[in-house]
Amino acid sequence: MMCLIEPFIDNNLEPPRKYYFNANKKVIYIDKPDDYYMKIQIAIRLSRDIMKHLCLRKYNVNLHGGMVTYKGKGICFLGPKKAGKTSLLLSLLSEKETTFVSNDDMSISIDPDDNIEGYGWPRAVSIRKDSIISMGDMLKKYDFCFNSYHPYNSIDKRNSSLVLYPIELANIFECSILPKSKVDIIVFPKFDNDCIFEYKELSYQEKVVNLKRNINVEVDRYFVDFKGYFEGKNELDICLSKIARIKMFSITQNIQHMDYVRDWFRRGGYV
């Protein structure tokens, strides 16, 4: 028996969606939108959110942030929008010893042996065009002027950002992509136009507070109409107490500080 689901869309940038759902067989048929590429994009989103929801049964925390590996160290950048996470990520990708894991959407998991790993979800990378311009010399040798396959780049109201699939970003920087990596350092950036560059290693309590602030509460935003049919459970406090054993730093920065931040990583200031 297929039931009709038509989610409410709270903005005019998304096309209307219409699904038929079989709860017993866990089958979702995407009827709307009509555009083939948008259907593919929505199928990716639904698959991603279903997997996130199922992962909540294990020691897993979904976070608003990105991750790279640099000189063999797994580095996570966690923070709200416009904190400078993507700028930090781009500045390190300009280094040849960096691999890309995720941007804006990642999880940290704890296995039975208490190993802590970060991994990315299938998600495009949204880069503000003014950030590319502002980073000037650091990014000038990289070609961002090409036609990305992502359908959002054809929506006029989204023209302030360039949306790239991870493989497109990797091709620009000639870097590799890793599905996951051990987490060695977590950085919480804060963007302030009038600040001086500074960093601080965090105490245990500061770590837990900052981790809680950056939990991704929209883990199933594209899946909300279906999640009642899938179980999910998470031992959040246990997860955070174990993750808090990792070294963590706060960084106060602005776009003029990208060279300072990159030099800090080059020098191993986080060790």
Q: Which residue has the tokens 């209307």?
A: 16
pLDDT in tens, 151-197: 877 776 667 888 888 999 999 999 999 999 999 999 999 888 777 88
pTM over 0.85: no
Residue 64, Cβ neighbours under 10 Å: how many?
20
Q: Output the pLDDT for position 127.
A: 87
In 135-196, which residue ranges form alpha helices assigned H by DSSP? Answer: 166-173
Question: What pLDDT score does 233 carry?
Answer: 56
- Regions of the chain with pLDDT less than 50: none
Crossing angle between the packed helical segments 204-213 and 236-243, to the nearest 10 degrees: 130
Distances, alpha carbon 128 to alpha carbons 13, 53, 87, 133, in Å: 17, 29, 9, 9
d(CA 260, CA 249): 15
- Supply the pLDDT for residue 209: 93
